[in-house]
Amino acid sequence: MTIGQATERVAIVTGGSGGIGGAVARRLAADGMTVVVHYAGSAARAQEVVESITATGGIAIALRGDVADAAEMEQLFDTVQERFGGVDVVVNTAGIMLLAPVAEMDLDAFDRMQRVNVRGTFVVSQQAARRLRPGGALINFSTSITRLQAPAYAAYAATKGAVEAMTLILAREMRGRDVTVNAVAPGPTATPLFLDGKSAEQVDRLAAAPPLERLGTPEDIAESVAFLAGPGRWVNGQVVFTNGGIG
């Protein structure tokens, strides 16, 4: 099938060049979806995800954009509409995590997280709310830290608390559209974003915390997304904690 032909289902994965985003893109492609791998600055990594999908017979393209820029996201959705005929699944994995105790948090860092994690999720969710076809799904990303209340995570958790609020309200606003809106809240997951700056001792301690006694993998998280994007049609307006039972 060539680009431009109609396909059964089309998915946009923001942050698709990242660890979890890439796993989500590959997993949705394995379910037969055409996947748009969105990226902000990692063109080479996004292309690697695309190539890993096309190598197994899937259809994928990479598109760049700033998730917090309304014009750029509108253009991205327009491009997807023109090339594939519509959008059925939107997954918002794009996000940044900057850690510090409240007393020490740099407010510029706080504002950067608010822009990407809150405004970015809102901008993409707004496009999804306008464009998702019946039977579609929007999956945003929160974090299990909203339950665990770990020190140094206050600013990050605050952005994800906002994501949960907008997700749950949007699910109710989509009444009558046959579109589900949910959030996935991963626990400690072995991605570069999570592992950066942590000692081996810290990683081992976090890995031992869940009853399953290991860190999550990006593929673990992608399975929850695939369920919500596909067969999980009766799950709506929920935050799905995908964390091995840590809390």
| Per-residue pLDDT at 202 | 87
Residue with tokens 């037969």: 32
Is residue 27 over pLDDT 80?
A: yes
Domain count, the chain: 1
Contact (Cβ atoms closer than 8 angstroms) between residue 45 and residue 70: no
In a domain, residue 246? The reply is: no
In a domain, residue 205? The reply is: no
Is residue 6 over pLDDT 60?
A: no
Mean pLDDT to the nearest integer, 17-31: 97
| Per-residue pLDDT at 3 | 43
In a domain, residue 157? The reply is: yes
In a domain, residue 86? The reply is: yes
- Long-range (24+ apart) CB contacts under 8 A made by 171-175 are 171/236, 171/237, 172/237, 173/129, 174/129
Nearest in space to 30 (alpha carbons), one of 223, 236, 244: 223
**Which residue range is the domain that position 165 belongs to?**
10-189+220-241
In a domain, residue 99? The reply is: yes
Percent of the chain scoring above 70 in pLDDT:
97
CATH number of domain containing 121: 3.40.50.720
Nearest in space to 182 (alpha carbons), one of 73, 70, 119, 92: 92
Banded pLDDT at 172 (limits 50, 70, 90): very high
Banded pLDDT at 193 (limits 50, 70, 90): confident
Q: Among all residues, which ones are annotated catalytic?
A: 156
Query: Could you report the per-residue pLDDT of 208-231, keeping only the tens digit for each?
Result: 989 999 999 999 999 999 999 999
| Per-residue pLDDT at 174 | 98
In a domain, residue 232? The reply is: yes
What is the SS3 assignment for 38? strand
